[in-house]
Amino acid sequence: MIRMNQFVNICFGVALAMTLATVADADEFKLSNSQRISCSRGLSAGKLNTATCKSYAYIFNARTSEYFRCQVSLALTRDNKEVINVQADGSCAKKPRIFETDSSYSFDATETEPPNTNSFFGPGGYSIWASDNTTQKVRGCITISSGLGSDISKCLDMTFN
């Protein structure tokens, strides 16, 4: 009976240590503070009105510096009397790490303004700022649409003068 109790206590101790190790290495995801929304309206044949809204947000892994760009959209079509159709869609796309090593990071993100008639590069782009909470290290990244099917992204380490 004593050996069984010791065995149970050892198993419990090992399980507790593994749980604590997992919690210590657990990823921490943070939502960006600067979500954006843009909407447009259009007229269709037969006096139909369509409104489309899109919103973007960023989810950031504060340990690994990987992030996800998330988008949700809603399209509403109506005539003069009733709503005819409502469509919604959304997903998150995984993006590469900003820093090569794990640490404790902070970040923020922002989207460019929606495209207009003067827009040369199509839908625009976004910027990400990330900093290491354990040392004086900041990296700024800008991603823009090339207009040719692929995005161009560059990250720069900031210098402190």
Contact (Cβ atoms closer than 8 angstroms) between residue 30 and residue 100: no
pLDDT band at 109 (very low <50, low <70, confident <90, very high): confident
pLDDT, tens digit, for every residue of 35-81? Answer: 777 788 877 667 788 888 888 888 899 999 999 988 888 888 888 88
Name residues whose C-beta falls within 8 Å of residue 37's C-beta, 6 or more positions apart in sequence.
Answer: 53, 54, 55
How many C-alpha atoms does 99 have within 13 Å on its Cβ side?
24
State how far the Cα of 53 lies from the Cα of 155, in Å rounded to an integer. Answer: 29
Q: Which residue has the tokens 């922002």?
A: 110
Q: For residues 69 and 54, is the Cβ–Cβ distance under 8 A?
A: no
Q: What percent of the chain has pLDDT over 70?
A: 71
Mean pLDDT to the nearest integer, 76-105: 89
- Alpha carbon distance 17, 76 (integer Å): 53
